[in-house]
């Protein structure tokens, strides 16, 4: 295969990954749109319905590590195909749930496991295909998450308004099968052999091959995992409850969805912008700056109440939280290399999912207890500042003892 062919098809893989993250995360995060209609129709508490999202992120986290390891061993195509089948199954069965525990099992467990099969494996594969613009390629795979509020959420809102929540969820489940099963067959393993490295990539390449056990014991892995955890714990609550909070402030339901959609669209731009900046300036400084903007944006929610203010904040918040997400994968790839990236980034993503799991539940609990979201935004701001501090401590320096141990082996 020629270098040109390899380069071109690498972007096809990136496109397939973007579609998978769009549909996968879009269906999972669409629960924010379903939250009030399901609660009103079924008489379930917001905390109970939100718990399905918490289960989503918990199951996605544990599954991401397993899916990443499986993709390293058996290839990415079989992993994303299995996830595609499971995603549609979870949505279709959740649409027919008659009790809260059934809904939590189908939407919370099945969909969480399914979505875990997309992000880490496809990110690892894209980074193996694309060398020169790796940060941009990883950002584009992640960009699917930014597109999802512009596609899945408005579609769900329209279907709920025109029909009901059950029909809407059933249609989205069938659509997931129609889109993702064919896309899975576009996924191919990256060709063996690495192109001649540029000075930048050579400088950041691992000195020797890591084992998974060695990688998971390094301070760098622990730092990235904790930073990703705090980052996601900070923004998950404000994102998930964004529509609900806007409605509490007196904004109409369909208009409130546009606030959420605008944040997602801005997140798409943030992924592209910060991805390009990371290729030029390095991933770490761009990550730290993005996390700081994210924390300040969350604090600003304490002061907004009007539609125009929501729109302005959605742009800034979306740029920040969307832009930082792909950078963790870039740092994993630069420090640990491609061979075990699926496993290592899957482990980092598992910690991120634990952070994402806190926000939906915490927001539901805060609202049910205090009848407002003030304490959610205050707590999220504090956690966001902690993410900045942890990211600042990330070091690209290797431990000499580990390098010598690998060399001796």
CA gap 10, 317 in Å, rounded: 30
Neighbouring CB atoms inside 10 A of 127's CB total 27
Residue 206 has pLDDT above 70, yes or no: no
pLDDT at 398: 56
Cα 35 to chain centroid, rounded: 20
CB 394 within 8 A of CB 223: yes
Q: Which residues contact 94 (CB under 8 A, 6 or more apart)?
A: 103, 106, 107, 110, 111, 169, 173
pLDDT at 397: 61
What is the mean pLDDT of the segment spanning 351-378? 84
CA gap 333, 124 in Å, rounded: 8
Over residues 17-72, the pLDDT tens digits come to 989 988 998 888 788 788 888 888 888 887 788 888 878 878 887 888 788 888 87
pLDDT at 163: 87
What is the mean pLDDT of the segment spanning 309-333? 89
pLDDT at 409: 39
CB 42 within 8 A of CB 100: yes
Name the phi and psi angles at 14, rounded to 5. Answer: -60, -45
CB 38 within 8 A of CB 165: yes
Q: For the chain, how many residues are written? A: 409
What is the pTM for the complete model shown? 0.71
Mean pLDDT of all residues belonging to the chain? 83
CA gap 130, 281 in Å, rounded: 18
Q: pLDDT category, 200, cuts 50, 70, 90? A: very low
Tokens 């690209």 correspond to 396
Query: Token digits for 254?
Result: 């369909």
Identify the CA nearest to 69 among candidates 241, 198, 213, 203: 213
pLDDT at 178: 94
CB 26 within 8 A of CB 156: no
CA gap 264, 260 in Å, rounded: 6
- To the nearest whole percent, how much of the chain has pLDDT over 90? 29
**H, E, C per residue of the chain:** CCHHHHHHHHHHHHHHHHHHHHHHHHHHHCHHHHHHHHHHHHCCCHHHHHHHHHHHHHHHHHHHHHHHHHHHHHCHHHHHHHHHHHHHHHHHHHCCCCCHHHHHHHHHHHHHHHHCCCHHHHHHHHHHHCCCCHHHHHHHHHHHHHHHHHHHHHHHHHHHHHCCHHHHHHHHHHHHHHHHHHHHCCCCCCCCCCCCCCHHHHHHCCCCCCCHHHHHCCHHHHHHHHHHHHHHHHHHHHHHCHHHHHHHCCCCHHHHHHHHHHHHHHHHHHHHHHHHHHHHHCHHHHHHHHHHHHHHHHHHHHHCCCHHHHHHHHHHHHHHHHHHCCHHHHHHHHHHCCCCHHHHHHHHHHHHHHHHHHHHHHHHHHHHHHCCCHHHHHHHHHHHHHHHHHHHCCCCCCCHHHHHHHHHC
Identify the CA nearest to 21 among candidates 97, 98, 87, 70: 87
CATH class of 12-188+205-397: mainly alpha
CB 231 within 8 A of CB 355: yes
Query: Residue ranges of the domains in the chain?
Result: 12-188+205-397
What is the mean pLDDT of the segment spanning 343-353? 83
Identify the CA nearest to 331 among candidates 323, 341, 322: 341
């Amino acid at each position: 295969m020629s270098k040109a062919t390899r380069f071109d098809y690498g972007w096809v893989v990136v496109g397939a990954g973007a579609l998978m993250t769009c549909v996968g995360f879009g269906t999972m995060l669409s629960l924010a749109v379903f939250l009030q209609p399901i609660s009103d129709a079924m008489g379930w508490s917001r905390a109970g319905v939100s718990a399905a999202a918490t289960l989503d992120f918990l199951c996605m986290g544990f599954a991401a590590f397993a899916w990443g390891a499986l993709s390293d061993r058996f290839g990415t195509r079989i992993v994303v195909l299995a996830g595609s089948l499971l995603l549609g199954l979870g949505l279709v069965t959740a649409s027919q749930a008659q009790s809260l525990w059934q809904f939590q099992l189908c939407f919370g467990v099945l969909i969480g496991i399914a979505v875990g099969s997309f992000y880490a494996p496809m990110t690892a594969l894209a980074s193996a295909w694309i060398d020169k613009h790796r940060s941009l390629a990883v950002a584009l795979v992640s960009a699917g998450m930014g597109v999802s509020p512009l596609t899945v959420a408005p579609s769900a809102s329209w279907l709920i308004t025109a029909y009901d929540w059950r029909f809407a969820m059933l249609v989205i489940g069938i659509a997931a099968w129609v889109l993702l099963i064919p896309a899975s067959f576009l996924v191919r393993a990256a060709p063996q052999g690495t192109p001649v490295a540029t000075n930048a990539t050579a400088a950041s390449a691992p000195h020797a091959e890591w084992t998974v056990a060695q990688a998971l014991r390094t301070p760098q892995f622990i730092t990235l995992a904790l930073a990703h955890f705090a980052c996601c714990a900070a923004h998950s609550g404000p994102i998930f409850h964004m529509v609900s909070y806007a409605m509490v402030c007196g904004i109409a339901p369909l208009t409130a969805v546009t606030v959420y959609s605008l944040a997602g669209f801005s997140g798409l731009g943030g992924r592209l912008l910060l991805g390009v900046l990371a290729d030029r300036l390095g991933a770490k400084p761009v990550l730290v700056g993005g996390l700081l903007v994210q924390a300040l944006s969350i604090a600003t929610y304490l002061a907004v109440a009007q539609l125009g203010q929501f729109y302005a904040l959605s742009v800034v918040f979306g740029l920040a939280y969307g832009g930082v997400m792909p950078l963790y994968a870039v740092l994993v790839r630069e420090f640990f290399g491609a061979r075990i990236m699926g496993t290592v980034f899957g482990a980092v993503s598992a910690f991120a999912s634990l952070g994402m799991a806190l926000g939906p539940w915490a927001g539901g609990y805060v609202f049910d207890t205090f009848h407002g979201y003030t304490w959610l935004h205050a707590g999220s701001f504090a956690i966001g500042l902690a993410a900045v501090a942890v990211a600042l401590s990330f070091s690209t320096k290797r431990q000499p003892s580990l390098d010598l141990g690998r060399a001796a082996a």
